[in-house]
Amino acid sequence: MSRYANLVPPDVDFRRITEAAVAQRERIGQVAKAAADGMRNLFLIGCGGSLNDFSAASYQCDRSAGFPTFCLNSEEFNRRRPALLGSGSVVLIASHNGTTGETIEAARWSRSAGARVIGFTKDETTRLAAECDDVFAYHSDRTILAPKQVLIGLMVTALLKEAGAKLAFASAEQAFAAVPAAFELAVQEAEARLHDIATDFAAETLTYVLSAGPNQGAGYGFAMCYLMEMQWKHAAWFNANEFLHGAFEVVQPDTAVLLFKGEDETRPVIDRVEAFLHKNTQRCRIVDSKDYSLPGVPASMRGEISPLLLSTLSKRLAEHYQAVTGHALADRRYMFKTTY
């Protein structure tokens, strides 16, 4: 029997779909130019996986933007009614199916407040799309993370450029252009390691997932969306440094901990917690972007791209879990089945 029995093959359309996202950069530049005219602040809005997709963009803005940036859950945003939202605000908002009620409401009232709303969704016919001034779509129900995050990354990069941020924009464009082929190869390079992690952790009753900086979304998304939502397994996500400020007291030799490790300035945060875990548990596993070749991505841009790579690998890791546990990722108890 094949080592990868029951494992679904990678999406044969991955590269095509992600290349189609990269190909939208000219229109993204045009929209960003118009949106940046008079821009006072930026809001990044979504729920669940779509909120996670803004993680790298939020971090980039915190480092480089000369304007305030706020990353919020859609319903939190609706209830808070931020005082700074209004004319001159740009709202980037995401929902895969475009049916999330609180996200649709967030887009609707943002426009009524005078903000420019730019949506990211699977196609131009979703309910969310109807509430946006501009829409960018990726037309896939399987390859979602890479193209959506590429679109968001290109948009935020274009807004930063229009705002006069001092970044290596040519290198950034080169990095995004390399993503389709580089990530397709990375999934192939990762198969054995991801399968080992799934095999090691599939029977765990509780898995702690740690990440930091722009990679927080990959870790949080794996814990909440893939382990809890799609595998019905107990999991808890922590910022890696915050884990050392209390939660690490639970660690024993058999405690299962999964680290998502990128190549940005926060890598030492993961190094520190990794050193602690290797001394105190035999059940620490790591998904490290540094292990992948990423041809075409400039060395200086690996830290910018690694959050997107870790998200793509997290989805593939979930498919390995599905193969090991036999629990389909599409199976739900409550989501899409009941009122909540």
Is residue 4 included in any domain, yes or no?
no
Residue 172 lies in a domain: no
Residue carrying structure tokens 């940005």: 264
pLDDT at 122 over 60: yes
Confidence of residue 340 (pLDDT cuts 50, 70, 90): confident
Exposure class string for 90-129: b at 16+ Cβ within 10 A, else e:
bbbbbbbebebebbbebbbbbeeeebbbbbbbbeeebbbb
Co-location of 93 and 188 in the same domain: no
The reply to whether 63 and 202 lie within a common domain is no
Strands across the sheet containing 89-94? 69-73, 41-46, 89-94, 116-121, 134-137
The tens digit of pLDDT for each residue in 212-237 reads 999 999 999 999 999 999 999 999 99
Q: With bands split at pLDDT 50, 70 and 90, how would you rate the model's confidence at 260? A: very high
Asked whether residue 236 is assigned to any structural domain, the reply reads yes
- Residue 109, domain member (yes or no): yes
What pLDDT digit, counting tens, does each position of 323-332 carry?
A: 999 999 999 9
Residues 19 and 114 in one domain: yes
Confidence of residue 3 (pLDDT cuts 50, 70, 90): confident
Q: What is the pLDDT of residues 123-149, one digit of tens each?
A: 999 999 999 999 999 999 999 999 999
Domain end among 121, 139, 167: 167
Q: Is 324 exposed, middle or buried (0-12, 13-18, 19+ CB in 10 A)?
A: buried
H/E stretch holding 211 reads: strand 206-211
Q: What is the pLDDT of residue 283?
A: 98
Helix axes 145-162, 25-36, angle to 10 degrees: 40
pLDDT tens-place string over residues 169-221: 999 999 999 999 999 999 999 999 999 999 999 999 999 999 999 999 999 99
Pure H helices in the chain: 14-22, 25-36, 48-52, 55-64, 74-80, 101-112, 127-130, 145-162, 169-201, 216-221, 230-231, 240-243, 267-280, 302-325
Q: What is the pLDDT of residue 170?
A: 96
Does 219 map to a domain? yes
The per-residue pLDDT for 269 is 96
Amino acid letter for position 284: C
Residues 321 and 201 in one domain: yes
* AA identity, residue 75: E
256: nearest Cα among 287, 281, 228: 281
Q: Is the pLDDT of residue 1 over 80?
A: no
The rounded distance, in Å, linking the Cα atoms of 160 and 299 is 21
State residue 189's pLDDT score. Answer: 98
Residue 331 lies in a domain: no
Residue 79 within a domain? yes
Among residues 146, 167, 188, the one where a domain terminates is: 167
137, 167, 197 — which closes off a domain?
A: 167
Residues 218 and 147 in one domain: no
Return the structure tokens found at 97: 């199916």
CATH code, 287? 3.40.50.10490
For residues 101-115, average pLDDT: 98
Say if residue 339's pLDDT is above 90: no
Q: Are residues 145 and 219 in the same domain?
A: no
Q: What span, in angstroms and rounded, lies between the C-alpha atoms of 335 and 322? A: 18
- What is the secondary structure of 283-319 as a DSSP string? -EEEEEGGGS--TTS-GGGHHHHHHHHHHHHHHHHHH
Q: What are phi and psi of 132, to 5 degrees?
A: -110, 155
| One domain for residues 182 and 229 | yes
Whether residue 337 has pLDDT greater than 90: no
- Side by side, the strands of the sheet bearing 206-211 are 234-239, 206-211, 256-261, 284-288
Looking at the structure, tell me whether residues 49 and 151 fall in a common domain.
Answer: yes
pLDDT of residue 336: 84
Residue 6: inside a domain, yes or no?
no
Domain limits at 253?
Answer: 178-325
pLDDT per residue over 261-317, tens digit each? 999 999 999 999 999 999 999 999 999 999 999 999 999 999 999 999 999 999 999
The tens digit of pLDDT for each residue in 19-76 reads: 999 999 999 999 999 999 999 999 999 999 999 999 999 999 999 999 999 999 999 9
Whole-number pLDDT of residue 273 = 98
Residues 19 and 144 in one domain: yes
Q: Both 163 and 183 in a single domain?
A: no
For the chain, give the mean pLDDT: 97
Domain count, the chain: 2
For 30-39, write each residue's pLDDT tens digit.
999 999 999 9
Residues 208 and 150 grouped into a single domain: no
Residue range 144-166: average pLDDT?
97
207 with 297, same domain: the answer is yes
* Contact present, 194 and 320 (Cβ < 8 Å): yes
Residue (of 237, 283, 242) closest to 260 by Cα position: 237
